Amino acid sequence: MSTSCVYPLASSCAHTFSSMSKNARHICYFLDYGAVNLFSLGSAIAYSAYTFPDALVRTTFYDYYVTLAVLNTIVSTGLSCYSRLGFAAGEADSFAPGEALYQAGEMLSQVAGSPWFGGWPEPARASFLPVFLELQRPRLCKMLRVLAFAYPYTWDSLPIFYRLFLFPGESAQNEATVYHQKHMVLTLLASFFYSAHLPERLAPGCFDYIGHSHQLFHVCVILATHIQMEAILLDKTLRKEWLLANSRALSFPQIAGAILLCLIFSLINIIYFSAALYRIPEPELRKKET
């Protein structure tokens, strides 16, 4: 429940403060990605306690399920941060996209007397650009970011997929099954809006303020989280006797240790990529001619 509150807060802060500066934008979204991946760990802990199908309890998969969820969270946080900066994060002499364009334009203007890339072929322009993933390969950047969110979700949902598709009869009488199905549909719908950029791509300019894909994505995600919580609480109530008799629940120190480990390594990822932003030299501002 704590992680399900943290990630909407982090997302709200990212959207609120990302306009302050270039670095603030990146750092806010680094923290947002970390919070989303922390939520995936919270989901895994709740699933391991209440929603695991009967046949998978007391198996090797169950024993290592949360451990691998911690690893997935750390890796996915790093991957989502990497999708913004790419290799520029590890290069002290690299610089940001807007600054790259500005400095390259200035250089070409001085050498060729052709301001802002005018008359220069594309290969010559590209040679001045840094390895900055979000600028050079936006589609790859988007794909990596979707992967960074989809992989932890898929791992967390394996017990649910098992219940719904492999042995649906096992939980057919469980009222929580319907909620798990609704949660899956809303999550897929959120993923669709996030990646497809609909409806604004069909009517550019008409959804700039209300109804664009990112708003619809957030609405679907919050509804999915609500439905997920309802499903978990139903499983907790309806399966209480069986779980107490058969399940090996994680202790509080184990849960706290998993979350703390995730926080430490995710923050290391975020600090590393944030520090890279401050190794980027600021451009010399062009003096205004009066």
- pLDDT tens, the chain, 290 aa long: 999 999 999 999 999 998 999 889 999 999 999 999 999 999 999 999 999 998 899 899 999 999 999 999 999 999 999 988 775 554 444 444 444 444 444 444 454 444 444 444 444 344 333 445 566 677 788 888 889 999 999 999 999 999 888 876 655 557 899 999 999 999 999 999 988 999 999 999 999 999 999 999 999 999 999 999 999 999 999 999 999 898 888 999 999 999 999 999 999 999 999 998 887 665 544 444 44
Task: Report d(CA 252, CA 247) in Å as an integer.
Answer: 15
CA–CA distances in Å: residue 97 to residues 32, 76, 131, 258, 281: 21, 24, 9, 37, 12
CA–CA distances in Å: residue 281 to residues 239, 244, 288: 58, 59, 21
Which residues neighbour 1 within 8 Å (Cβ) at sequence distance 6 or greater?
A: 42, 229
Task: Report d(CA 230, CA 93) in Å as an integer.
Answer: 50
Tokens of 57: 């309890």
- Binding site for Zn(2+): what residues are annotated? 214, 218
Contact 36, 149 (CB under 8 A): yes
Handedness of CA 152, 256, 49, 4 (dihedral sign): negative
